[in-house]
């Protein structure tokens, strides 16, 4: 017979577990980034009745300008957290705002730029992390800012936790050398938490090649003291150092984690999606395989020690950095479940690896790829191609693929296509104008993926978008010998004057990948061009979530928020937003028993001239929600 006290403890723990499952405590829904919710109130039968429940305006409509490509309007990419009825979001000026999750009313806000001289600065910021001690009395919000401050706030009041670092702040620039205060170095994605550690990467320059380290660091959550450092570019004596020819590793920037990491708390592992080494498009001064650039790396979360790595691109000269949070999944095989990790890529590949060993669960081939014609460049002779799942995006374009959505577009794109060098997958940018497909905004970007454990489906939105550029010699005193250029700027795209991609639609898709078989369960166009009156799909940035058999996603450049049947891919619901929703939505149960779906619809960034400052919540009408609750 179970003692009454133990029954009471079990009951309390069960209620606590149920409460957590109804919240959104992590950027990716859980520490493993599945973006899955077990809530069922909203489902395929009633999702079409969703209505706007509340709207919150951050007040940041004017946030930057388009005078230069590098200083575009900062996007509103925040994915909120919801804990104990409070919603926490960040804004492009690195403010943190706490709202009542039921009503959207403001509770508090923290402004890290208060009192700073000069104009307000704006940059994308994707959200915060949350930690509480075992008693639940000490609750903290942790996040990074555009100017590389790691800040810890009291979750109840929004006041800095004075015991962390210096008055609640750790300056992430301290301990880094060989770059000026003006050098780009900041944080755009939320850190992750493992036990009493907060682990963070940073955004670093993509040009030039020398600058701040892309190292990943862990700090004690209570004190802010540095606990461990992982060198993403190995130092002498460390694994992988030999993959950098000569002294090319010294002072090298890039190879950073600017996206979101994942944590397997049970196994004590943290997974790092590492970016490409700088300069992104020129590697003559860094010959070699260049570990751990473009690697998915598993570390011992407590110590920062290397457990395993898998490189998705060798000697990257395409800006094919790992842009998305790794998704911790289980793969069914021969009657058992294998702990695995899925990594989506800009190339349109999905790598599915054993979470414990890093070994691919589906075959991966090293295939020969084109050579570079740039003086001194030594493109790696092969690249890894997973045999399953199949590529989710096109990896080559021929003349027969040129878009014919309008005669004007066909003429423009045909002329452009025939002016470009094009040698298929992994064509290096050359001395002539070159087409690379997919480009740096192609495939799956930081949008990432969501996963439904009940079906084994991984939901991935991808872009069908190529890049155009050429490697141009620079002046003798330039920071790099060559730099990518085009008449459209450094980041030329393979699209027409309407910014419609130059190959035939679809231009963006939502895919369901069966991780157990490696097959594509379904693929549908994502987005529409209203002028063309057809389901073309559209370029998209922003992620999906899955709940109750429904996949929710904004992302597209048509300012829509959509719901799809998770089993079939059928579009069930769509609504028009104030601007493009380049963010990942969340869902949670309100304290009155109503399920909400919330998304930031702020536009901005590389794809969105229209901007807004809107965070919008949707829910079923009162009668529908009550009826569902009774059943």
- Summarised one tens digit per residue, pLDDT across range 49-93 is 999 999 999 999 988 754 444 447 899 999 999 999 999 999 999
- Is residue 570 over pLDDT 70? yes
Tell me the helices (H) and strands (E) count for the chain, helix number first. Answer: 3, 38
Residue 482 pLDDT exceeds 50:
yes
The first and second tokens of residue 173, run together, are 């620039």
Which is higher by pLDDT, 437 or 19? 437
Alpha-carbon gap, residue 392 to 447, rounded angstroms: 14
Residue with structure tokens 């959505």?
Answer: 405
CA 364, 320, 483, 607 dihedral sign is positive
Based on the residue annotation, tell me whether 319 is a catalytic residue of this protein. yes
All domains of the chain in start order, with CATH: 25-630 (2.140.10.10)
Mean pLDDT of the chain: 94
Contact 537, 506 (CB under 8 A): yes
Segment 419-442 mean pLDDT: 96
Residue 626 confidence (pLDDT): 56
Task: List, for residues 509-555, the tens digit of each pLDDT value.
Answer: 999 999 999 999 999 999 999 999 888 999 999 999 999 999 999 99
Identified catalytic residue from 147, 285, 316, 319: 319
Q: Please tell me the predicted confidence (pLDDT) of residue 533.
A: 82
- Secondary structure (3-state) at 565: strand
> 371 has which bridge partners?
none
Residues 465-484 have a mean pLDDT of: 96
Q: Is the pLDDT of residue 13 over 50?
A: no
Secondary structure of residue 4 in the 3-state scheme: helix
Which of 338, 265, 326, 340 minimizes the C-alpha distance to 296? 326
């Amino acid at each position: 017979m179970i003692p009454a006290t133990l029954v009471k403890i079990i009951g309390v723990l069960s209620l606590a577990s149920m409460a957590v499952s109804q919240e959104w405590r992590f950027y990716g829904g859980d520490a493993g980034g599945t973006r899955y919710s077990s809530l069922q109130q909203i489902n395929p039968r009633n999702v079409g009745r969703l209505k706007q429940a509340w709207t919150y305006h951050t007040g940041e409509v004017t946030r930057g300008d388009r005078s230069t490509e590098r200083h575009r309007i900062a996007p509103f990419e925040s994915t909120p957290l919801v804990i104990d009825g409070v919603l926490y979001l960040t804004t492009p000026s690195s403010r943190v705002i706490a709202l009542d999750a039921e009503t959207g009313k403001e509770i508090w806000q923290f402004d890290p730029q208060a009192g700073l001289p000069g104009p307000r600065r704006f940059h994308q910021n994707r959200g915060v992390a949350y930690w509480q001690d075992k008693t639940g009395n000490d609750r903290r919000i942790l996040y990074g800012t555009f100017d590389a401050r790691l800040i810890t706030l009291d979750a109840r009041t929004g006041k800095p936790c004075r015991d962390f670092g210096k008055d609640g702040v750790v300056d992430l620039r301290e301990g880094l050398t060989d770059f000026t205060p003006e050098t780009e170095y900041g944080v755009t994605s939320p850190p992750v938490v493992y036990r009493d550690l907060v682990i963070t990467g940073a955004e670093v320059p993509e040009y030039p090649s020398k600058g701040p380290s892309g190292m990943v660091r862990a700090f004690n959550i209570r004190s802010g003291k540095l606990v461990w450092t992982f060198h993403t570019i190995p130092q002498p004596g460390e694994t992988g150092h030999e993959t950098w020819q000569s002294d090319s590793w010294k002072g090298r920037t890039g190879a950073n984690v600017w996206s979101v990491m994942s944590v397997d708390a049970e196994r004590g592992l943290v997974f790092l999606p590492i970016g490409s080494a700088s300069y992104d498009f020129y590697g003559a001064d860094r010959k070699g395989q260049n570990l751990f650039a473009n690697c998915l790396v598993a570390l011992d979360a407590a110590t920062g020690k290397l457990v395993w790595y898998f490189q998705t691109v060798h000697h990257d000269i395409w800006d094919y950095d790992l842009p998305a949070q790794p998704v911790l999944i289980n793969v069914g095989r021969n009657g058992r479940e294998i702990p695995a990790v899925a990594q989506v890529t800009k190339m349109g590949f999905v790598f599915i690896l054993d979470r414990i060993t890093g070994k691919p669960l589906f075959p991966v081939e090293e295939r020969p790829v084109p050579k570079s014609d740039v003086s001194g460049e030594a493109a790696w002779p092969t690249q890894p191609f997973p045999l399953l799942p199949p590529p989710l995006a096109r990896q080559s374009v021929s003349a027969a693929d040129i878009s014919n959505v309008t005669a004007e577009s066909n003429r423009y794109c045909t002329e452009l296509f025939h002016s470009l060098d094009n040698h298929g997958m992994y064509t290096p940018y050359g001395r002539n104008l070159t087409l690379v497909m997919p480009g740096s905004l192609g495939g799956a970007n930081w949008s990432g993926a969501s996963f439904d454990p009940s079906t084994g489906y991984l939901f991935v939105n991808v872009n069908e978008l190529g890049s155009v550029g050429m490697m141009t010699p620079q002046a003798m005193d330039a920071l790099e010998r060559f730099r990518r250029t085009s008449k459209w700027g450094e980041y030329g795209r393979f699209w027409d004057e309407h910014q419609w991609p130059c190959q035939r639609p679809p231009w963006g898709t939502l895919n369901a990948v069966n991780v157990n078989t490696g097959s594509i369960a379904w693929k549908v166009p994502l987005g529409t061009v209203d002028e063309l009156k057809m389901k073309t799909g559209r370029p998209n940035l922003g992620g999906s979530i899955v709940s109750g058999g429904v996949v929710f996603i904004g992302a597209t450049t048509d300012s829509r928020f959509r719901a799809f049947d998770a089993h079939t891919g059928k579009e069930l619901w769509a609504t028009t937003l104030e601007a493009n929703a380049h963010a990942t939505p969340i869902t949670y149960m309100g304290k009155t028993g109503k399920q909400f779906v919330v998304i930031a619809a702020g536009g901005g960034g590389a794809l969105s001239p229209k901007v807004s400052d809107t965070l919008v919540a949707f829910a079923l009408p009162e009668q529908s929600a009550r009826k569902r609750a009774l059943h």
